[in-house]
Amino acid sequence: MNSLTLIRPDDWHLHLRDGDALKAVLPDTARRFGRAIVMPNLKPPVRTVEDAAAYRERILAALPAGLNFEPLMTLYLTDVTPPEEIAKVKDSGFVKALKLYPAGATTNSDAGVTDVNKVLPTLAAMAELGIPLLVHGEVTDPAIDVFDREAVFIDRVMKPLLDKLPDLKVVFEHITTQQAAHFVWCAGERVGATITAHHLLMNRNALFTGGIRPHHYCLPVLKREVHREALLEVAISGNPRFFLGTDSAPHGKSTKEAACGCAGMYTAHAGIELYAEAFDAAGALDRLEGFASRFGPLFYGLPANADTITLTRETVEVPASLPYAGGDTLVPLRAGETVGWKLAD
Ligand SMILES: NC(=O)N[C@@H](CC(=O)O)C(=O)O
Ligand SMILES: [Zn+2]
Ligand SMILES: [Zn+2]
> Quick one: pLDDT at residue 249?
98
Helix (H, G, I), strand (E, B) or coil at 299: helix
Going from the Cα of 72 to the center of ligand 3, the distance in angstroms, rounded, reads 14
Helices (H), the chain: 19-32, 49-62, 84-92, 120-129, 149-153, 159-164, 178-186, 197-201, 225-235, 253-256, 273-281, 288-289, 295-300
Residue closest to 30 by CA, chosen among 76, 75, 62, 78: 62
Write the DSSP symbol of residue 332.
B
**Distance from C-alpha of 137 to C-alpha of 151, rounded to nearest angstrom:** 8
* 333 CB near ligand 1 (under 6 Å): no
- Residue list for the binding site: 13, 15-17, 41, 99, 136, 174, 219, 247, 251, 263
Ligand 1 atom 8: residue of nearest CA: 247
Helix (H, G, I), strand (E, B) or coil at 239: coil
345 tagged catalytic:
no
Going from the Cα of 107 to the center of ligand 3, the distance in angstroms, rounded, reads 8
Q: Are 104 and 110 in contact (CB under 8 A)?
A: yes
> Quick one: pLDDT at residue 231?
99
Give the pLDDT of the chain (345 residues) as one tens digit per residue.
899 999 999 999 999 999 999 999 999 999 999 999 999 999 999 999 999 999 999 999 999 999 999 999 999 999 999 999 999 999 999 999 999 999 999 989 999 999 999 999 999 999 999 999 999 999 999 999 999 999 999 999 999 999 999 999 999 999 999 999 999 999 999 999 999 999 999 999 999 999 999 999 999 999 999 999 999 999 999 999 999 999 999 999 999 999 999 999 999 999 999 999 999 999 999 999 999 999 999 999 999 999 999 999 999 999 999 999 999 999 999 999 999 999 998
* 99 CB near ligand 1 (under 6 Å): no
Going from the Cα of 34 to the center of ligand 3, the distance in angstroms, rounded, reads 19
Going from the Cα of 336 to the center of ligand 3, the distance in angstroms, rounded, reads 24
- Residue list for the binding site for Zn(2+): 13, 15, 99, 136, 174, 247
Q: Are 265 and 215 in contact (CB under 8 A)?
A: yes
* Mutational test site, ligand 1, from 18, 107, 248, max ligand atoms within 8 Å of CB: 107
> Quick one: pLDDT at residue 345?
83
> Quick one: pLDDT at residue 1?
82
Q: What is the pTM of this model?
A: 0.98
Q: Are 189 and 242 in contact (CB under 8 A)?
A: no
Q: Is the dihedral of CA 39, 173, 275, 198 positive or negative?
A: positive
Is 87 exposed, middle or buried, given 0-12, 13-18 or 19+ CB atoms closer than 10 A?
middle
